Chain A
Amino acid sequence: EPEVTQTPSHQVTQMGQEVILRCVPISNHLYFYWYRQILGQKVEFLVSFYNNEISEKSEIFDDQFSVERPDGSNFTLKIRSTKLEDSAMYFCASSELGQGAGELFFGEGSRLTVL
């Protein structure tokens, strides 16, 4: 069964360092998303991406965050200068359909620990 894959599964970094989290969405999907879950809190939307541009972003997704689809398969989330409060599980998701109609499929997540 097709699945969303994420790397790394766990990354530890020092505050102020840049981090890139990578995702390979399901191959025929056109809509891509990043969500995060701080320990003990709800899963939160960060950004949606379609046709090589951001469709929507939350207030969390400020200038330190960026997303990119550098080739036909990868979808990345970059955090430019990490803060302690960026420590969370980051989930990539993809869907075949957009406009709210599609079922989202999530990866296993990348746990980011900022020291």
Chain B
Amino acid sequence: KQEVTQIPAALSVPEGENLVLNCSFTDSAIYNLQWFRQDPGKGLTSLLLIQSSQREQTSGRLNASLDKSSGRSTLYIAASQPGDSATYLCAVTYAGGTSYGKLTFGQGTILTVHP
């Protein structure tokens, strides 16, 4: 059974700092990995999608990497801002069986960026 773990559970940084969020998954047979942002009481906003054949994806100040063989992904946020404060979720799509977009989520990293 696929398990997704995110470290750290919470992170508090001063504005302007570069930071890294970690995600690990137990089964390397994945189609893709997706990073989401969730604001309190809100929905999930897709940040980046990395297909299993890719090593990284970039969007603005965000860069996500994927090392499928070791079951790890990192989300790098450059020059953090208070508006980046949110919960960041990692999710993978398992390539085995009859998976039709079934995402398995981690528990998230709660990020606080203080001015």
Check if B83 is an interface residue, CB within 8 A of chain A. no
In the complex, identify which listed stretch (B10-18, B30-38, B61-69) lies at the interface while the others stay far away.
Answer: B30-38
Chain A residues within an 8 Å CB radius of B100: 31, 48, 50, 55-56, 98-100
Chain B residues within an 8 Å CB radius of A95: 101
- Give bound CA distance, A63 to B66, whole Å: 38
* A106-B101 in contact given A43-B89, A101-B51 (Cβ < 8 Å): no
Q: Is the beta-carbon distance between B95 and A106 smaller than 8 angstroms?
A: no
- Give bound CA distance, A42 to B104, whole Å: 9
Contact residues of B between 72 and 105, Cβ < 8 Å to A: 89, 91, 93-95, 98-105
Residue of B nearest to A35 (CB): B103
Chain A residues within an 8 Å CB radius of B45: 106
Distance in angstroms from A7 CB to nearest chain B CB is 13
Question: Which residues of A does B touch, CB under 8 Å?
Answer: 6, 31, 33, 35, 41-45, 48, 50, 55-56, 58, 91, 93, 95, 98-109, 111
A-B contact pairs, 13 of them (CB 8 A): A31-B101, A41-B107, A48-B101, A56-B99, A91-B43, A95-B101, A103-B46, A105-B46, A106-B36, A106-B43, A106-B44, A108-B42, A111-B41
